Amino acid sequence: MPLEIKDLPLLTQLSKECFDFDKHYFKYDTPSGYDHILWHKKMLETGSYYKIIYNKQMIGGILIFSCLNQVYNIGRIFLSPGFQNRGIGKKVLLLVEKLYPDAQKWVLDTPEWALKNQNFYEKNGYSKTRIILAKDQSHKLLIYEKKVKF
């Protein structure tokens, strides 16, 4: 379901919950802007931002960017910690793929330390294609791709 301006306070809170959870347990840096409503507002204006709803309750978000040649980038996906490991993320990825039937390839990145994320993406058909240094050079990012049409 498309995100609206009125959803930004709750979405920002959910993002903060999710990434603070990782920060607490894994002691790693969190993604930029995850806890700032203005960052989420900017992403709403520049990408396609969707709220993730479960039992009529917003529990997370997914941010999509259109690239060239029918390639789409998942800029961010997050679920409140209490809703992780229930198969919801898998359903969200499948729904998003249906929203973009012209997609030939999906790309995303995840931190090298985020083993849970890597496992999730690989179980959902994504393949690790390369490793790059984050823009701030503080850590490595793994680039994943999923080819949908051949």
Helix (H) or strand (E) holding 131: strand 127-133
Q: What is the DSSP letter of 31?
A: P
Model pLDDT, residue 150: 56
What is the distance between the alpha carbons of residues 18 and 137, in angstroms, rounded to a whole number? 23
Q: What is the pLDDT of residue 138?
A: 78
pTM metric for this prediction:
0.90
- The pLDDT assigned to 149 comes to 73
Average pLDDT, the chain: 91
Q: Is 113's pLDDT higher than 90?
A: no
We report the CATH number of the domain holding residue 66 as 3.40.630.30
Res. 49 pLDDT band, cuts 50 70 90: very high
Predicted confidence at residue 59, as pLDDT, reads 98
Domain containing 100 equals 5-147
Confidence of residue 88 (pLDDT cuts 50, 70, 90): very high
State how many domains the chain has.
1
Pairing of strands 127-133, 140-147: antiparallel
* Percent of the chain whose predicted confidence (pLDDT) is above 90: 75
Tell me the mean pLDDT in the region 78-83: 93
For residues 135 and 141, give the distance between their C-alpha atoms in angstroms, rounded to a whole number: 10
pLDDT at 122 over 80: yes
Statement: residue 57 has pLDDT above 60: yes
